[in-house]
């Protein structure tokens, strides 16, 4: 049953909360790791065991249509956009499993490792022009364009072309379409960008058909599971999922991770001197500085989790960041420790059927990006006091407006 007293409240736009939400998460979790919030009309989930139980239970859906308060007016009027959004964010479990079998081959570590030269070339393009100045804005100069360029080149878009530039502009726009807080004008702009991006992806797929290329899109076009290949809509949805989950999240994780390392010079020294710790460093930085606030889930039937009865149609706001700072699982959870046991970190990218398909790609991108910055920019430091850093007002993710850095040129 619901707790009689709502959990402590927090304002996701409060600058103090955005800069470090962990104190608020700890207060909410101390009240109850699953607690009903009348204010948000949803269960707030901040505990790690509870998060895993929900992530692994197929009775919890990603589809907003399963929410008891669903408002059909927020869905796009365009039928194809509506199908695209539903395919991308809330595939049925059977469909999700079939697609996963196909894309697992493309995203297994051995396949993704082949992308390292592309990733490193992209980082060189972005970082090296800043070297003579001894200054770099990690957001504008590197993190912003980096993951989108990698994805556009993975699907065969020409490097440094006008189409690559437009791809990034559209990718930046469409990420906002799932926010319920958009104004009508903002939503129409995001949906217009979706339509244009859809046409661009369609055109790129058409150019790949019947032409052998050594890129991700060609691999997905040729892949099959149980004798079935991906449909055109499924292929478009997968590229779209890469954009949604592999651009802003990777960029913000990188920026927040660099800032966290600069706060912890002892850990930065370990990163530089003990290469065997770099894989765990990527995961530990994601654990302590995860950029997302909440993921949403909806109960498709009555479910009990950790002794709490959750009714059919009720929504859940699940904080992956809070779960990964749960002291029941992570001792001294707010401390950055890149030597932390890797087994504790295996759920950072999600769990169950919704484990992040692009996790291996994100790990490789982040590892290469940290290495580029920490290994090749000597005496790296903040160019302004940390108190002057500003975060975007965004209820979905934590993101810095800029991260100005200095280094010895």
**What is the pLDDT, as a whole number, of residue 100?**
74
In a domain, 132, yes or no: yes
**What is the pLDDT, as a whole number, of residue 352?**
55
Is the confidence at residue 219, as pLDDT, over 90?
no
Is the confidence at residue 248, as pLDDT, over 70?
yes
The pTM for the full model equals 0.89
Cα–Cα distance measured from residue 240 to residue 217, given in angstroms and rounded to the nearest whole number: 12
Is there a contact between 150 and 396 (Cβ–Cβ < 8 Å)?
Answer: no
Cα–Cα distance measured from residue 281 to residue 284, given in angstroms and rounded to the nearest whole number: 5
In a domain, 4, yes or no: no
In a domain, 7, yes or no: no
State phi, psi for 211 to the nearest 5 degrees. Answer: -120, 120
The residue segments making up the domain with residue 138 are 15-406
Mean pLDDT, rounded, for 249-259:
96
Point out the least confidently predicted range of 63-72, 177-186, 248-257. 177-186
Mean pLDDT, rounded, for 274-290:
95
Highest mean pLDDT among 41-50, 93-102, 350-359: 41-50
**What is the pLDDT, as a whole number, of residue 1?**
44
Is the confidence at residue 70, as pLDDT, over 80?
yes
Percent of the chain with pLDDT over 70: 87
Residue with the bigger pLDDT between 88 and 348: it is 348
In a domain, 285, yes or no: yes
**What is the pLDDT, as a whole number, of residue 308?**
95
Highest mean pLDDT among 40-54, 331-345, 347-361: 40-54
- What CATH number should be reported for the domain holding residue 222? 1.10.630.10
* Tokens 């479990």 -> residue: 93
**What is the pLDDT, as a whole number, of residue 4?**
45
Instruction: Output the average pLDDT for the chain.
Output: 86
292 strand-pairing partners: 397
**What is the pLDDT, as a whole number, of residue 63?**
84
| Structure tokens given for 119 | 């990733």
**What is the pLDDT, as a whole number, of residue 94?**
47
Is there a contact between 92 and 61 (Cβ–Cβ < 8 Å)?
Answer: no
**What is the pLDDT, as a whole number, of residue 85?**
58
368: which residues sit within 8 A by CB, 6+ positions away? 116, 119, 120, 123
In a domain, 8, yes or no: no
| Structure tokens given for 84 | 């695209």
Mean pLDDT, rounded, for 129-144:
97
**How many separate domains does the chain show?**
1
**What is the pLDDT, as a whole number, of residue 93?**
45
Point out the least confidently predicted range of 93-107, 260-274, 306-320. 93-107
In a domain, 37, yes or no: yes
Rounded-to-10 torsion of CA 169, 170, 173, 178: -150
214: which residues sit within 8 A by CB, 6+ positions away? none
Cα–Cα distance measured from residue 172 to residue 192, given in angstroms and rounded to the nearest whole number: 13
**What is the pLDDT, as a whole number, of residue 96?**
63
CA angle at residue 166 from 403 to 132, to 5 degrees? 40
Mean pLDDT, rounded, for 54-67:
91
Burial class (CB in 10 A: 0-12, 13-18, 19+), 206: exposed
Is the confidence at residue 91, as pLDDT, over 70?
no
pLDDT tens, residue by residue, 154-176: 988 999 899 999 998 888 888 76
């Amino acid at each position: 049953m619901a707790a009689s007293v709502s959990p402590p409240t927090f304002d996701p736009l409060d600058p103090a909360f955005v800069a470090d939400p962990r104190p608020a998460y700890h207060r909410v979790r101390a009240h109850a790791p699953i607690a009903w919030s009348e204010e948000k009309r949803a269960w707030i989930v901040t505990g790690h065991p509870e998060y895993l139980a929900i992530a692994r239970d197929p009775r919890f859906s990603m589809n907003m249509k399963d929410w008891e308060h669903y408002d059909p007016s927020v869905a796009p009027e365009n039928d194809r956009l509506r199908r695209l959004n539903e395919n991308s964010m809330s595939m049925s479990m059977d469909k999700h499993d079939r697609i996963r079998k196909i894309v697992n081959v493309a995203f297994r570590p051995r396949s993704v490792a082949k992308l390292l030269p592309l990733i490193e070339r992209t980082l060189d393009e972005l970082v090296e022009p800043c070297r003579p100045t001894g200054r770099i804005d990690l957001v504008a100069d590197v993190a912003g364009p980096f993951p989108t360029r990698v994805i556009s080149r993975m699907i065969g878009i020409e490097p440094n072309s006008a189409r690559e530039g437009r791809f990034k502009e559209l990718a930046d726009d469409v990420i906002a379409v799932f926010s319920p807080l958009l104004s009508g004008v903002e939503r129409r702009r995001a949906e217009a960008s979706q339509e244009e991006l859809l046409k661009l992806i369609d055109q790129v797929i058409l150019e790949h058909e019947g032409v052998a290329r050594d890129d991700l899109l060609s691999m997905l076009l040729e892949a099959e599971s149980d004798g079935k290949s991906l449909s055109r809509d499924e292929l478009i949805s997968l590229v779209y999922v890469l954009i949604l989950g592999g651009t802003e999240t990777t960029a913000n994780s990188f920026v927040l991770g660099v800032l966290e390392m600069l706060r912890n010079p002892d850990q930065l020294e370990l990163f530089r001197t003990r290469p065997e710790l770099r894989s765990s460093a990527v995961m530990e930085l994601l654990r302590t500085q995860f950029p997302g606030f909440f993921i949403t889930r909806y109960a498709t039937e009555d479910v009990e989790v950790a002794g709490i009865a959750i009714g059919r149609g009720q929504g859940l706001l699940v904080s992956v960041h809070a779960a990964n700072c749960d002291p029941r699982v992570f001792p001294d959870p707010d401390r950055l420790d890149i030597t932390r046991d890797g087994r504790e970190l295996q759920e950072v990218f999600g769990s169950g059927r919704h484990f992040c398909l692009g996790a291996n790609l994100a790990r490789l991108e982040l590892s290469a990006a940290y290495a580029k910055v920490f290994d090749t920019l000597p005496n790296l430091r903040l160019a302004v006091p940390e108190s002057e850093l500003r975060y975007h007002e965004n209820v979905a993710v934590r993101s810095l407006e800029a991260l100005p850095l200095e280094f010895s040129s």
